[in-house]
Homo-oligomer: A and B are copies of this chain.
Amino acid sequence: MQRTVFFISDSTGITAETIGNSILAQFEGLSFDKHRLPFIDDAHKAEAAALRIKTHYAKSGERPIVVNTMADRALCEIVAASGALMLDVFAPFIGPLETELGAKRSGAVNRSHGLVDFDKYEARINATNYALSHDDGIDVDYAQADLILVGVSRSGKTPTCLYMALHYGVSAANYPLTDEDLEKLELPARLRPYRDRLFGLTIEPERLAQIREQRRAGSRYATLKQCRWELEQADRLMRQSGIPFLNTTHVSIEEIASKIFASFGIERTMF
């Protein structure tokens, strides 16, 4: 039977969910039924949450697990009265940090995903607009790009660019290798001035064919033969041009982005 987990927060719940998922992932082979309860910021909402958890407990007979980032102790106690196992994300770290910093926690609602810094917002939005307008080689002005992703169609360039823009404000352009590029085995002229900003994405041919089949069922574009040819040529082109590249088949968007940043020595932190 799946154990039920509630991510509870006085704000978005993103921190509770992120750390909760990481902790639960360490218990391999177990699966969990996960629920997010965000914006629990007064006693009334905390009581409703506690009732829901308690009801769940009574029905299933299994003790629910609560991953909690609410700052207010009184609210935590209301939820704890449900009988769930309470994992308080911040509690273990506040004491050591207060000692180290010689400062008291402000005790306010967690605003790490709520506060808006206009400069940072602008950096996110500008980078996102950049990614949108430099997607699929449509716009050719690469001068402002922090980096340019290169690869065959459907190798994962667009979502990776958008993720890097939204979360790190990195202006990432994207260039899909055309059949012509792949036949010539030459970097297109307009990419050559930016060779040190290029990064390649590759993927296993079977997976690529599967993805393309979803997009254009029965097309030549989606055949394993075509995918294999494109990927082999792309591989050759990237090797001979000295472009670092990554096989994305078993890698999440987050990990692709982190590895690209590591490759370029970009240590930018998240928004």
Interface positions of A (Cβ within 8 A of B): 3, 7, 11-15, 17-19, 21-30, 34-36, 38-39, 63, 65, 69, 71, 85, 87, 89-94, 96-97, 100-101, 103, 105-108, 110-116, 118, 121-122, 124-125, 128, 132, 156, 158-159, 162-163, 166, 207, 211, 214, 249-255, 257-259, 261-262, 267-271
Contact = CB atoms under 8 A, between A and B. Distances in A.
B12 A112 contact: no
Contacts of A267: 35-36
A90 B252 CA distance: 22
Given A116-B251, A254-B12, A255-B11, A18 B21 contact: no
A202 B229 CA distance: 49
A13 B108 contact: no
A266 to B, nearest CB: 9
Contacts of A85: 96-97, 100
Nearest to A92: B92
Contact of A166 (B69, B71, B156, B166): B166
Contact of A65 (B15, B65, B97): B97
A3 B114 CA distance: 23
A105 B270 contact: no
Copies of the polypeptide in the assembly: 2
B110 A26 contact: yes
B100 A65 contact: yes
Contacts of A158: 128, 132
A101 B29 CA distance: 12
B27 A269 contact: no
29 contacts: A7-B269, A14-B18, A15-B18, A18-B19, A18-B112, A22-B69, A23-B93, A23-B97, A26-B106, A26-B108, A27-B97, A27-B101, A28-B108, A34-B269, A36-B268, A36-B269, A38-B258, A38-B261, A65-B97, A85-B100, A113-B252, A113-B254, A114-B252, A114-B254, A116-B252, A124-B253, A125-B211, A128-B159, A132-B158
A24 B15 CA distance: 13
Nearest to A39: B262
A261 B236 CA distance: 45
